[in-house]
């Protein structure tokens, strides 16, 4: 399943001269996927670094941003900026928030400052499954080793 994300309000007007900006997030059941890669991630408020969350995230290269459950948002607040986002799934439209900047550190790699998307998630067996998307991976210089089912330091930054 993929989500079509449309930014609304001032962000969409400041990006692309007023036209809507769309992103795709890969979301759905990953239990059928062989070779799941999970990374330990720490997200911190840039203004109040003592407000942070440490968790395991599923590496999802079909997802753009780091996607977290809305239930965790208050643990990082107040966040410097927040933008309401409408996401269209195959069945419905959901409202989410893109917030940031936040400090994101994937264990073993350099920290980056980026945005995070908060959306309603249902825990499976009492656990949420946050998604670590390709934007954070690229910013932190991380490559996905599909054969070894692990994250490695990228040899080169992609400037294309």
* 159 within a domain of the structure (yes/no): no
Give the separation between CA 66 and CA 150, rounded to whole angstroms: 18
Give the separation between CA 14 and CA 78, rounded to whole angstroms: 23
Find out whether 67 and 25 touch, Cβ atoms under 8 Å.
yes
* 136 within a domain of the structure (yes/no): yes
Q: What is the pLDDT of residue 29?
A: 30
CATH of the domain at 106: 2.40.70.10
* 51 within a domain of the structure (yes/no): yes
Phi/psi of residue 26, each to 5°? -85, 120
Find out whether 109 and 42 touch, Cβ atoms under 8 Å.
no
* 116 within a domain of the structure (yes/no): yes
Q: Does the predicted TM-score (pTM) go above 0.85? A: no
Q: What is the pLDDT of residue 51?
A: 97
Find tokens 């932190």 and name the residue.
140
Q: What is the pLDDT of residue 91?
A: 75
Alpha helices (H) along the chain: 10-14, 134-139
* 158 within a domain of the structure (yes/no): no
Which residues of the chain are under the pLDDT cut of 50?
1-33
Q: What is the pLDDT of residue 88?
A: 62
Q: What is the pLDDT of residue 74?
A: 95
The domain tally of the chain equals 1
Range of the domain at 18: 2-27+35-153
Give the separation between CA 7 and CA 16, rounded to whole angstroms: 11
* 160 within a domain of the structure (yes/no): no
Give the separation between CA 125 and CA 111, rounded to whole angstroms: 30
Q: What is the pLDDT of residue 34?
A: 52
Quick one: the chain helix, strand, coil %, rounded to 5?
10, 45, 45
* 103 within a domain of the structure (yes/no): yes
Radius of gyration of the chain, Cα coordinates, nearest whole angstrom: 15
Q: What is the pLDDT of residue 90?
A: 55
* 145 within a domain of the structure (yes/no): yes
């Amino acid at each position: 399943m993929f989500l079509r994300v449309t930014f609304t309000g001032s962000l969409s007007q400041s990006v692309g001269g007023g036209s809507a900006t769309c992103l795709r997030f890969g979301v759905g059941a990953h239990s059928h996927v062989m070779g799941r890669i999970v990374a330990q991630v720490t997200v911190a408020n840039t203004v109040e670094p003592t407000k942070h969350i440490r968790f395991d995230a599923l590496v999802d290269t079909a997802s753009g941003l780091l996607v977290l459950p809305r239930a965790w948002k208050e643990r990082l607040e107040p966040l410097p900026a927040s933008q309401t986002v409408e996401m269209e799934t195959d069945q419905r439209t959901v409202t989410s928030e893109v917030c940031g900047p936040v400090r994101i550190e994937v264990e073993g790699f350099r920290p980056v400052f980026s945005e995070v998307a908060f959306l309603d998630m249902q825990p499976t067996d009492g656990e949420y499954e946050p998604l670590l998307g390709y934007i954070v991976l690229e910013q932190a210089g991380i490559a996905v080793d599909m054969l070894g089912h692990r994250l490695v330091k990228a040899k080169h930054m992609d400037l294309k």
